[in-house]
C-alpha cells in the first residue's frame, strides 16, 4: 500500500492561541508529509506494499539495518503524527472521562498529579521526541518518552495519548519555552478520543 496524509477534522487556526496557525500548517503539510513521502519511497524501493503501517513499525528490525532505520523513522513519523492529529479537537472534552479517567485516578490519584507527571516526562525529552500515555502489556497505564520518531508500538506499548515535543511542533510561537507549550496541551487534547483509544486497547486485549 502507499500511505497518505489523513484529513484533518479542523482548520489550521482551530487551536489558536495554544498552537498557532502557521505551526499547524507547516507541521501537517511539510513535516508530516515528509514522513509520508520517505515512507512511500522505501516501500516502493524495497517492494514492501504487503505490509500495514503497524506491521512495518513492529518489524522494522527484520529488514536490512539501513532499510529498517528508514522504516523506524518514517513509518513511526507517519503513525505518530496521524495519532497526534486525531486526539486533538477544538471542541474536545478537556478532562478525563470514563474508564480512562478511572485508570488515571488509580495510577496517579488525581488528574492534576497526572498532569504534573506527564509534563515532567515531556520536559525531560532531550532533543527531539515524544511523551506518551500508554497501556503496557499488563493493561497498566504508563507515561513514557520516545526519542526521534520512535513509536510506542516498538516497545510493546499501546499509546492512548501523545505529545510531540520536537521543536517543529512549537518553536515559532514558544521558541525555547517548551514547558509553556506543554502546559497549553491540556487546552488542545480531546479526552473523549483518549477514552475511545483506552477502550479500544483494553477491549483488543493487546
Ligand atoms: Mn512533529
pLDDT per position as a tens digit, 84-140: 999 999 999 999 999 999 999 999 999 999 999 999 999 999 999 999 999 999 999
Q: How far is the CA of 194 from the centre of ligand 1 (A)?
A: 19
Q: Which residues contact 114 (CB under 8 A, 6 or more apart)?
A: 96, 104, 107, 108
Determine the pLDDT at residue 137: 94
Q: Over the stretch 144-186, which tens digit does the pLDDT of each residue have?
A: 999 999 999 999 999 999 999 999 999 999 999 999 999 999 9
Q: How far is the CA of 135 from the centre of ligand 1 (A)?
A: 22
Determine the pLDDT at residue 110: 97
What percent of the chain lies above the pLDDT cut of 90? 98
Task: Let me know: does 134 contact 156? Beta carbons within 8 Å.
Answer: no
Q: Give yes or no for residue 189 having a pLDDT over 80.
A: yes
Cell 479542523 belongs to which residue?
10
Element at 79 (helix H, strand E):
helix 65-86
Determine the pLDDT at residue 206: 65
Determine the pLDDT at residue 205: 75
Q: What is the CATH number of domain 98-204?
A: 3.55.40.20
Q: What is the CATH number of domain 21-86?
A: 1.10.287.990
116 grid coordinates: 504534573
Q: How far is the CA of 24 from the centre of ligand 1 (A)?
A: 10
144 grid coordinates: 513514557
Cα–Cα distance, 67 to 107 (Å, whole number): 38
Assess whether the region 21-86 and the region 98-204 belong to the same CATH fold: no
Q: How far is the CA of 109 from the centre of ligand 1 (A)?
A: 30
Q: How far is the CA of 89 from the centre of ligand 1 (A)?
A: 17
pTM: 0.97
Cα–Cα distance, 30 to 103 (Å, whole number): 36
Q: How far is the CA of 11 from the centre of ligand 1 (A)?
A: 17
Q: Over the stretch 51-71, which tens digit does the pLDDT of each residue have?
A: 999 999 999 999 999 999 999
**How many CB atoms are located within 10 Å of the residue 15 CB?**
20
Q: Where are the domains of the chain?
A: 21-86, 98-204
Q: Give yes or no for residue 202 having a pLDDT over 70.
A: yes
Cα–Cα distance, 85 to 54 (Å, whole number): 17
Cα–Cα distance, 70 to 60 (Å, whole number): 9
Of the candidates 83, 87, 123, the one whose C-alpha atom is nearest the C-alpha of residue 195 is 87
Q: Give yes or no for residue 192 having a pLDDT over 80.
A: yes
Cα–Cα distance, 14 to 22 (Å, whole number): 11
Amino acid at each position: 500500500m502507499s500511505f497518505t496524509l489523513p484529513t484533518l477534522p479542523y482548520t489550521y487556526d482551530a487551536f489558536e492561541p495554544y498552537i498557532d496557525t502557521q505551526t499547524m500548517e507547516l507541521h501537517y503539510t511539510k513535516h508530516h508529509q515528509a514522513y509520508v513521502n520517505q515512507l512511500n519511497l522505501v516501500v516502493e524501493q524495497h517492494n514492501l506494499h504487503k505490509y500495514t503501517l503497524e506491521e512495518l513499525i513492529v518489524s522494522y528490525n527484520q529488514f536490512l539495518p539501513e532499510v529498517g532505520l528508514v522504516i523506524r523513522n518514517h513509518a513511526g513519523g507517519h503513525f505518530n503524527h496521524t495519532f497526534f492529529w486525531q486526539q486533538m479537537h477544538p471542541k474536545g472534552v478537556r478532562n478525563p472521562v470514563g474508564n480512562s479517567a478511572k485508570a488515571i485516578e488509580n495510577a496517579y490519584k488525581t488528574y492534576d498529579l497526572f498532569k504534573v507527571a506527564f509534563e515532567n516526562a515531556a520536559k525531560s525529552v532531550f532533543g527531539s521526541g515524544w511523551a506518551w500515555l500508554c497501556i503496557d502489556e499488563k493493561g497498566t497505564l504508563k507515561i513514557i518518552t520516545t526519542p526521534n520518531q520512535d513509536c510506542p508500538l516498538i516497545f510493546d506499548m499501546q499509546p492512548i495519548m501523545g505529545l510531540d515535543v520536537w521543536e517543529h511542533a512549537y518553536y515559532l510561537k514558544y521558541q525555547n519555552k517548551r514547558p509553556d507549550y506543554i502546559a497549553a496541551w491540556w487546552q488542545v487534547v480531546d479526552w473523549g478520543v483518549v477514552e475511545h483509544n483506552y477502550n479500544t486497547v483494553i477491549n483488543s486485549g493487546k
